[in-house]
Amino acid sequence: MSFSLVYLVLQVFHHMVLIFHSFKDFSDLEDFWDHLPVSRLKYNALEDFQTTYLEVF
């Protein structure tokens, strides 16, 4: 294998590892939010858009 092909394979592997760790951390973050004593606000973007659209037109 040439050097550039080895480099490409290592780069792809590195990005796959980063993606895996980001998803793992995301689930940890959800656990963190679930344990907070305050509830998360729910934002409905469609409802906000419709309200703004009706006010403008």
| Dist. CA 47–CA 41, nearest whole Å | 14
pLDDT over 80 at 8, yes or no: yes
pLDDT, mean over the chain: 71
| Dist. CA 36–CA 25, nearest whole Å | 17
pTM over 0.85: no
Give 19's Cβ-side CA count (13 Å radius).
Answer: 6
pLDDT of residue 25: 56
Q: Higher pLDDT residue, 3 or 27?
A: 3
Asked if residues 33 and 40 have their Cβ atoms less than 8 Å apart, the reply is yes
Contacts for 33 with CB less than 8 Å, ≥ 6 apart = 40
pLDDT confidence tier of residue 44, bands split at 50, 70 and 90: low
| Dist. CA 14–CA 11, nearest whole Å | 5
Q: Break the chain into its structural domains and give their ranges.
A: 3-56
- Per-residue model confidence as pLDDT tens digits over 13-31: 888 887 776 666 555 666 6
